[in-house]
Structure 1
Amino acid sequence: MSTVDAPGAPRRPVAPKARGGVVQSFSDSLIVARRNLIRMLRIPEVIIFGLFQPVMFVVLFSYVFGGSISIPGAGTDPEDYRSFLMAGIFAQTVTFATAGAGAGIAEDMHKGLIDRFRSLPMARGAVLTGRSIADAVQTALTLLVLAVVAVLVGWRINEGILKALGAFGLLLLLGYAFTWIGALIGLTVRTPEAATSGGLVWLFPLTFVSIAFVPSQNMPGWLQPVAEWNPFSATVQAARELFGNLPPGFQAPDAWPMQNPVLASVLWSVLIIAVFRTLAVRKYRSATG
């Protein structure tokens, strides 16, 4: 830090000027992402325990609910339900990573690490962007493990590898978008515990009032439009189509996101990123200003 002198006033520190430019901001973000990834590798139990929940969901929903939930066009065939289910489990997994992202940022704020970053000549948004990139890498690893488990319980890709990669891309994009919601929560609350609770309290209704686990046709009439216009539902429906996991006689609801799920998924994710990244960066600057 440098200092400035004013007549009759004590010397006071001045924070280094942050370097600007898109290239520099991207470079700073990668440095922060690398720091977070190294930290994750040094605490492997966080990654291991993070894999347990989605694996348990796959097994429990496949063998407990399989055969008891009716799918339009397929009835209650357990095999068809497992195919129908997996896109919902994948989407739930990437969005539940939001709670961990918020807790991590809240912990950094609580320990004063954010203030140390602020004292460096780096792009102000790089701290949050780097954290979101690291979380996306961890989410991708979780999806990979989850896909292997899904194959073991009978799930299959029926539309080719390229479409499947597109489906995983949409899932990761949704997870990245929701990470920014977690970042905003982490910057708003005072403790990591509050960030974890705040990150989950809204995720449960979002994921369950959707088409992730049951078709919207099985819901009360007033609830069906809510589920069909849910951003989460658009990505789930898009993934099912790209994986080829829809039953042969399945008819998608008439709502626009269900008829155009790939486009709807991209639009929802981009909108969430644009809104919540702006709010999170603004909150970060005011919190450390």
Structure 2
Amino acid sequence: MSQAHPYQTLISAANLLQNAQNPNWVILDCRHDLVDAAAGRAAYDAGHIPEARFANLDRDLSGAKQAADGSFKGRHPLPEKDALLATLRRWGINDDTQVVAYDAQGGMYAARLWWLLRSIGHSSVAVLDGGVAAWQAAGGGLSTAEPAPAAGNIGAKPPLTASVNAHDILVNLTNPRRTIVDARAPDRFRGENETIDPVGGHIPGAKNRFFKDNLQADGRFKPGHQLHEEFGALISEPQAAVMQCGSGVTACHNLLALEIAGLHGAALYPGSWSEWCSDATRPMAKGA
């Protein structure tokens, strides 16, 4: 594969098998469990795609939870740009590196890494469609050896993403110009069975698109034309849409699905519900 035509959304297990030995490719294992922070590393240690490095959601793909003014920024705030660049360089990523992210949860966590790389202008990043299960089904083996630290030189370029903050969402409530789409499960969106955040409910006016609805029964993404039709029923203008979830992670799955569908320009609200509900003065809603 020529780097003139990099993988920018998804990569199949078959295509990764063909390119996994390319020295200019970096594979990142993003497996995680929101209720067991050690589960991802344990899965990596038990067996990962050969030469893959482990990307920890809490440490590598998130930043400090407290803002300078002491306010809560959510469970998984975005990392500071310099910290993210240092992490990417430690993984051996250069400006022309093809990055592949995978997990075992349908891209739930790998999509976060995909979005973060795009946020610093790196377009050559793709999620392994079907994750580690697809890799093994295609004949790929697993390894317990961890690659040595590397020295990449990736630098920040103009972002390929957009983001908004809580103030932007608050303004939108009184002057609605954006469509807010919540990626959480329907019961949590309605304010039921909330076990992660201290308050149940959703941002008033938000629509619900459970991120798992982007997937087929085999755990791979639905085809682009189907995603285009389904998201088209929710949003009329992608550039006026904001994706959010519980903490800014699964919202990236919806953003990846939009990119696959050819619907470009939607923004991420990184703080999402976990930040929003931490301030009792912000409006909240329950029900469908």
TM class by shorter chain equals 0.3 to 0.5
TM-score (norm 1): 0.34
If each structure's strand is expressed as a fraction of its own residues, which one has the higher value?
2
Rg comparison, structure with higher value? 1
